[in-house]
Structure formats: structure tokens, C-alpha cells
Structure 1
Amino acid sequence: MQYLTPSTFDEASALALGATGATRFLAGGTDVLVQMHAGGATPDVLIDLKRIPGVYDITRTDDGWSIGVAVPGAVLCEHAALSAEWPGVVEAIDLIGSTQVQGRATPVGNLMNASPAADSVPALIAAGAEVSVLGADGSSRRMAVEDVPTGPGRTALAPGDVVTELHL
């Protein structure tokens, strides 16, 4: 297995597009690492997003909130302003795993794992949440959370696409 640590989302996208075999992104890792340790599908390439600037940011914007892809659920649940504006979403994020898992699990990872049992996804859909996606061609687009999962373990993202932020 190749373990890669890009310093930008553009680099992460290029690495994913050029990779051969199964490729996974790593932000929190609670799903992918458990799957690997349980003897499940070990990716040929693991691209760690945690060193990219902004992945831990929670920012109030003119149209809501932007949440970095590596912000763990525990941090979101402790964010007073976000919790006040989006209590149902924060409560759903708080359902992702145990207290220990909450320290690493991310809502973006919960979405991208595309599990039918994803705790936070229904609340994100009900809230009209979106993700920013950087395409392999360098273009950026917003995508409704409801359009991301297409089936168990499958998403609508193309090879080289990488989620850069969650928006509420």
C-alpha cells in the first residue's frame, strides 16, 4: 500500500487520478482504518488529507457554515454557534460512534463511506447540506449531500474528485 500526504487539494486530486488500484482518502480514518484492520478491502493507495491547510477549519460565511473535511465530530459538537444554528445536524453527528470514535470521525468521512447506516447523512440531507468538490480537471463545484451516495459503498464522485468542504 502506498501512503501519500499531499499539501494541497489539487495535489490530492492529481495523486488520486494517477493512482492505480483502489484509492481512498483519509481525513478521520475511523471507517477506512477499521475496514483495513478487519481484513476488509485494503486500498492500494491511501491519500491522507490531514496536512492540507484548512481541513480543520469551521468558518461562518455569508451563506452559512463551511466545515473542513478533517473536523472531527467531537469538535463540531463543542462548537457553540454551530450547535445553536444546526442542533439537529450536530445531534446526528454526535451519534457517529463512541466518545473515542467522535475524536476522529468526520461527517465528510461518514458521507463518503456511503454506508446505509451513516448516522449523520439523513440530517445533512434534511438540512440541505452541500459539499465542495474539486474535480480532476481543476474545476470546483458544489454538490448536494443527497446526490453523493449512489448505493452502499458507492458515490457519484469521479476518479480524481476530492471533497474539500462541507457546507451548512
Structure 2
Amino acid sequence: MAVQEFVAPKSLPEAQGIFANDGSASWLAGGTDLLVGMRLGMRDPSRIIDLKQIPELMALEVSDDSILIGAAASAYDILHNSEIGSLCPGLADALDLIGSTQIQGRCSAGGNLCNASPAADSIPALIANGAVCRILGSSGERLLPVEDFLVGPGKNALKADELLVQLVLPKPMLGTSDAYLRLTPRTEMDIAVAGTGVSITLDTAGVCTAARVAIGAVAPTALLVEAAGQALVGSKLEDEAIDSAVTAVRAAASPISDKRGSAQYRTHVVGVLVKRAIQRAQARINAGAKA
């Protein structure tokens, strides 16, 4: 079936009304995954609904207690929002690794999440930052943590009539920073062998009071490894605490072996990345304290 119609609604109710009348339609947040899938014969929508004309889905807002990222806002726009970049530099690191500048001008964090690739760069960073999905459907609105939004490779928790509207991140408190690191077989524009997002909070004495550690490309979905975060809390991020977090991460990993790396290699690498990401986030906090 060829695409019969391309529509660009101006509001959420208009978009929902169009989608309700055509179950074979596809949302388009940026198209960097959808169009490739269509070209390969993996996707065959009768209608494409472009979401980039809906202000709520394109908005980027920072309030006293939260960061709101519209589901269709481009990676480029997020990267060039200085307030978000200073609050969540690890998320910016992750988005900056997605393709070229041209791709970043179209792709969105929401679309990257909905595509649900186990190796997606933005997802571990979103999980580390405690991002929550704001979802709208015919039965109303619901909120779902990003780590629960992912149900399998290429599969998300959206129901047939639902749309991801926003990503809501708690505004990082004082003494908090994050980092994202990945390893790829080549230097640029390749799929990660392993990736990790880390967010930590340190008090004025350098003691970790909160931590979230997420990993990607080493399981069917990106994972929040709660045991790794718990291993850091109460410590000053000494080697022993970091080693315990690394052990927890490696225990949680269940990677496949493919041309990019064996399961054993991926499991080793993700631990190395977690250690380095913790140290990078710590360095960012310390640099901010001295500024």
C-alpha cells in the first residue's frame, strides 16, 4: 500500500481525530526512522500524520521544578537550548551523538524513544535523568517512566490510540549532574556496542545522596539498574563504591553477540563506561562548585 495522504494537524485534538479514523496511519515526529522503514518495506502506512506543526509537541520549557521536552522537538533544538544543556549535559552528549547535523535537525528525542532501539543513545540518558512520558489517548492522559515505556526491541507501551506528547524531567537539584558515554566500532554514526547514562547528586561534603544508572545496547531494552545507583548512595564515590556499581551493571546486562561485539565483550565494556560516566558526572559537579 502506498501512502495515500500526508497531513499536518495544528493541534492535538485534530491529530487524534485524524488518527482515530485511520488505524493504519503513522505518526511522524521527524521521520528519520519511519522513512527508512518505509523504504525497506518494514513500514507501510496509508497516511502520515506530521506532528511538527503542533506547538505543544515542539515546545521546550524549563520551570522551577521540571524540564518539558515536546515529543517532536528536534535534537538540534534541544542541543541549542543553553538552559537544558547546562542542566543536563549528559542528555546533550547523547543527542549530539545521533547522526549528523542534518539528521539532528529532523530527529526527536520522542521519536528516538518510540522507536525503542536497544542501542538508542538518548534513552539511557533520559532514564538516568528520571524522565517520564506524558501520554495522551482516547481514555485520557497517563504518565509512565521511560524505563517502563520500553517493552522490547522496537516495541513501546503505547496503545493503538495513544500518542507520546512530552517528556517530563525533574529539574536537577543543586549538586547534580549527568553524563552519557558509548562505545562504537567506528568513530562516527554507528550503533553502540554499549552505552550508559548516569546522574548523581553530591552534597557539600561530596557524599552521594542520589544516583541513577542506566545502560543501553546490552539487553533487549535500555535498563535502569537500581542496584548500581544504590551502590553509590552514601559514598564519596570511592573506588569500592564505583566497583560495586560496575558489578551490578554487569550482572544486569544480558547482551547478544553480533558483528559489533560478543556478549562477553559488551558486558565488560558497559562496566568500563559506567565507571567513566560516574567520574565524568562527578567532575562536572566539582567544576560547577568551583565556578
Question: TM-score, length-normalised on structure 2?
Answer: 0.54
SS in structure 2 of the partner of residue 143 of structure 1: strand
SS in structure 2 of the partner of residue 35 of structure 1: helix
Alignment correspondent of 1:48:
50
Unaligned runs of 5+ in 2: 170-291
In the TM superposition, residue 10 of structure 1 has moved relative to its aligned partner by: 2.2
Distance across 2 between alignment mates of 1:144 and 1:99: 29
Q: Which amino acid aligns with 2:136?
A: L
Distance across 2 between alignment mates of 1:54 and 1:16: 17
Alignment correspondent of 1:82:
84
Query: 1:72-114: CA deviations, max 9, x gaps?
Result: 1112112111111101111111111122211111110000011
Residue from 69, 72, 83 that aligns with 1:70: 72
SS in structure 2 of the partner of residue 115 of structure 1: coil
Q: Which amino acid aligns with 1:14?
A: G
In the TM superposition, residue 159 of structure 1 has moved relative to its aligned partner by: 1.1
Q: Which amino acid aligns with 1:10?
A: P
Query: 1:52-84: CA deviations, max 9, x gaps?
Result: 123222111232111112211112112111111
Q: Aligned Cα RMSD in Å?
A: 1.6
Residue from 8, 12, 15 that aligns with 1:9: 12
SS in structure 1 of the partner of residue 119 of structure 2: coil
Distance across 2 between alignment mates of 1:17 and 1:115: 26
Distance across 2 between alignment mates of 1:50 and 1:155: 21
Alignment check: 8 A CA contact 1:17 1:159 kept:
no
Distance across 2 between alignment mates of 1:99 and 1:88: 18
Residue from 36, 42, 63 that aligns with 1:34: 36
Distance across 2 between alignment mates of 1:77 and 1:3: 28
Alignment check: 8 A CA contact 1:13 1:134 kept:
no
Alignment correspondent of 2:168:
167
Distance across 1 between alignment mates of 2:82 and 2:23: 43
Residue from 21, 24, 27 that aligns with 2:26: 24
Query: 1:3-41: CA deviations, max 9, x gaps?
Result: 2322221232233233233x3211111110122223332
Q: Which of 1 and 2 has higher RCO (CA within 8 Å, sep 6+)?
A: 1
Residue from 126, 129, 135 that aligns with 1:127: 129
Alignment correspondent of 1:153:
154
Distance across 1 between alignment mates of 2:26 and 2:154: 12
Alignment check: 8 A CA contact 1:130 1:144 kept:
yes
Distance across 2 between alignment mates of 1:114 and 1:17: 23
Question: TM-score, length-normalised on structure 1?
Answer: 0.90
Q: Which amino acid aligns with 2:147?
A: E
Q: Which amino acid aligns with 1:76?
A: I
Alignment correspondent of 1:142:
143
Distance across 2 between alignment mates of 1:117 and 1:12: 30
Alignment correspondent of 2:285:
none
Alignment correspondent of 2:271:
none
Which structure has greater helix proportion? 2
Q: Which amino acid aligns with 1:56?
A: M
Distance across 2 between alignment mates of 1:25 and 1:149: 18
Alignment correspondent of 1:58:
60
Give the number of equivalent residue pairs: 166
Alignment check: 8 A CA contact 1:69 1:106 kept:
yes
Distance across 1 between alignment mates of 2:51 and 2:80: 23
